[in-house]
Amino acid sequence: MASNRILLINEEIQKELSSLLRTVKDPRVQDVMISITRVETTPDLRYTKVYVSFLQSEKADEAMKGLKSAAGYLRRQLGQNLQLRYAPQIVWALDDSITYGAKMLKLINSLEVKHDEESEQG
């Protein structure tokens, strides 16, 4: 279980990266709606794993390449803005839980509800 300090740092990193993503000039990142769903930082603050989700899933591969390319810039800005002793190295991870949830909801909604006549009469 992460300490309260790490949880607070995770929240701050998530907020800061969300605003910094808008400043990235890479078209692979600019042209896609990116959501940071979760951030996990190691206790020594050396690494942070950032889970991202994309609205246009077909552009996810190119956007991930763009994020990896911009990681150095984002790390530097993160270190300056949060004033941490160490600017954590950013590791990007694709979070497809939103896409998976939407797919499951679509499947559930497509099911036909059948009523048993005997249970309705009884």
Structural domain spans, the chain: 4-110
Quick: pLDDT tens for 36-68: 999 999 999 899 999 999 888 788 899 999 999
- Looking at residue 88, its pLDDT comes to 93
The residue with greater pLDDT, 58 or 11, is 11
Query: Which residue in this structure is represented by tokens 């002793």?
Result: 85
Q: Band the pLDDT of 11: cuts 50, 70, 90.
A: very high
With H, G, I as helix, E, B as strand and everything else as coil, classify residue 59.
helix
Instruction: Tell me how far the alpha carbon of residue 77 is from its chain's centroid.
Output: 19
Confidence class for position 116, pLDDT limits 50, 70, 90: low
Q: What is the mean pLDDT of residues 60-89?
A: 91
Tell me the pLDDT band of 121, cut-offs 50, 70 and 90. low
Q: What is the pTM of this model?
A: 0.78
Phi, psi at 38, each rounded to 5°: -165, 150
CATH class of the domain at 4-110 = alpha beta
Split at pLDDT 50, 70, 90, the class of 122 is low
